[in-house]
Amino acid sequence: MQMRSEDHPTKIEGRTYVHIKCGKPTMVTGRNWIGLCNPFSQTLGTMCSHCRQSDSLKNFCWHDSGENVQTYVRRLRKQCPLFWRMFFWWIGPLFGAVLVAGLLYFIGPMIKLENEIEPAGWAAIGAFFGLFLMPFSVTPWLAPRAIRKPFHKEL
């Protein structure tokens, strides 16, 4: 879904953060910016364009506000409705595990393998992968759209 300018009053193209270790700024734009600011993404670090080092979010701060990027992301997460925070940590992973386990329970035995796997085995495999499906792929995409909040435009 493309964000229109009237969807949010702030027209910002990107934002600059400073790597605390080297003191140099880096401008982040586009999908990288949107992902970095999404409190439901699994982003743990980013990169400095000057020293070319990847580092933890706690080692970067926003140039304009001086706020630590990790603190910023946590602040945005705390501002989200309780349901979405619970969905991110508990409901989503459990739902993903049950959904993928159920699918593989019925579909898995149809897959031709040299050694047959029982439906319960397929369900266990599906549950394992389903636990990670929601928090790593679905929730970071779904939450900002459901909350109707462009996190990357929050200052």
How much is the mean pLDDT over the chain?
83
> 101 exposed, middle or buried (CB, 10 Å; 0-12, 13-18, 19+)?
buried
Contact predicate 123/103, CB 8 Å: no
Contact predicate 45/57, CB 8 Å: yes
Strands 54-56, 45-47: pairing is antiparallel
pLDDT tens-digit series, residues 106-128: 888 888 876 788 889 989 999 99
Query: Which of 85, 105, 87, 107 is CA-nearest to residue 95?
Result: 87
pLDDT at 20 over 50: yes
Q: Which residues pair with 119 in a beta bridge?
A: none
Separation CA 155–CA 153 (nearest Å) = 6
pLDDT tens-digit series, residues 42-91: 888 899 988 888 889 999 999 989 999 999 999 988 988 898 888 888 88
pLDDT tens-digit series, residues 92-104: 889 889 999 999 8
